[in-house]
Chain A
């Protein structure tokens, strides 16, 4: 792993958190990082719901099947899409998912580089999860929760990592210099 890219490799999914709250200036930095992501035609079809209230974090933990750690996290940011703002496509309006995913990834990398831990909890496209989270957060119907970043000061440590796999790399065309990959 190239040391110059440690800021990427150090991001690991962290599910245990200390009770210490995340400072306001770090929340601001996280949001600035998220909104530095690219978006199709620069539409920025995103909204960020910042949740620090204990009872809301607990409610989110109870409606999402893999979100128990929100009972311990001191902060979460729900990354939401506003499809109407997104670059439209003739047969479906889906660039917002890519735009919001890039913003989410920025958020997670920013957290790791501010001394925080985080984990991405998937919401979209499971309709029931979207509806339940929209209800807990009091969001209008035109806002779709893509995912939730559970965050806080980490209570577990994991080493830097890549999951590089050469069988996933093809040269020039599919199968190029990679005969191990069956069609």
Chain B
């Protein structure tokens, strides 16, 4: 693994967090990273809901089948899209923004895990209700974030069978 790309290989899914709250300047930095993602036609169809309220985090933990860690995480960033701003590309745009969030986290001593919401309709409805999202916003995914209580080693899952040379 090329060491100049360590910032990519260090991104691992972290599901255990300490109690320590994430500082406001780090939340701002992560959101700046998210909104540095490219988007189709530069339409930026994204919205981010910053959730730190324990009650709301617990509600999301209960609503999401893989979201138990939200009950302990100090922070969740919910990436949402205004679908009509970019009908064909909002999933791709918001996914790039989410990936930036997860790459930014380790550089700020944080860790996190991507919880898929869209296109599972029951998850979309539950999260929309908890966050009081308007009809025209869809929650794509949740970044559960915090100071990690586990540190998986850097890795790639490079597989030459997934490469086609032309």
Contact = CB atoms under 8 A, between A and B. Distances in A.
Interface residues of B, number: 70
Contact of A94 (B38, B91, B157): B91
A102 B44 CA distance: 16
B162 A1 contact: no
Contacts, number: 212
A29 B119 contact: no
A17 interface: no
Interface string A26-47: 0001011101111010101011
Contacts of B130: 173
Contact of B158 (A4, A32, A172): A32
Given A36-B156, A92-B119, A5 B29 contact: yes
Interface string A42-58: 10101111111100100
A120 B89 CA distance: 12
B40 interface: yes
Contacts of A138: 166
B137 A174 contact: yes
Given A8-B33, A164-B32, A36 B132 contact: no
Contacts of A46: 162
Given A47-B164, A106-B8, A29 B2 contact: yes
B22 interface: no
A89 B47 CA distance: 24
A143 B135 CA distance: 33
A153 interface: no
A98 B7 CA distance: 20
Nearest to A40: B116
Given A44-B159, A139-B164, A97 B91 contact: yes
Contacts of B80: 174
Interface string B89-106: 101110110111011100
Interface string B73-112: 0000000100000001101110110111011100110000
Contacts of A40: 116
A150 to B, nearest CB: 12
Interface in B14-42: 25, 29, 31-33, 35-38, 40, 42
A98 B131 CA distance: 22
B5 A29 contact: yes
Nearest to A80: B164
User: 8 tightest CB-CB pairs across the interface, nearest first?
Assistant: A101-B95, A29-B2, A2-B29, A102-B99, A105-B96, A32-B156, A162-B36, A162-B32
Given A36-B158, A98-B116, 13 more contacts: A4-B108, A8-B104, A29-B1, A32-B5, A36-B8, A94-B118, A104-B96, A108-B38, A109-B7, A126-B88, A137-B166, A164-B35, A170-B131
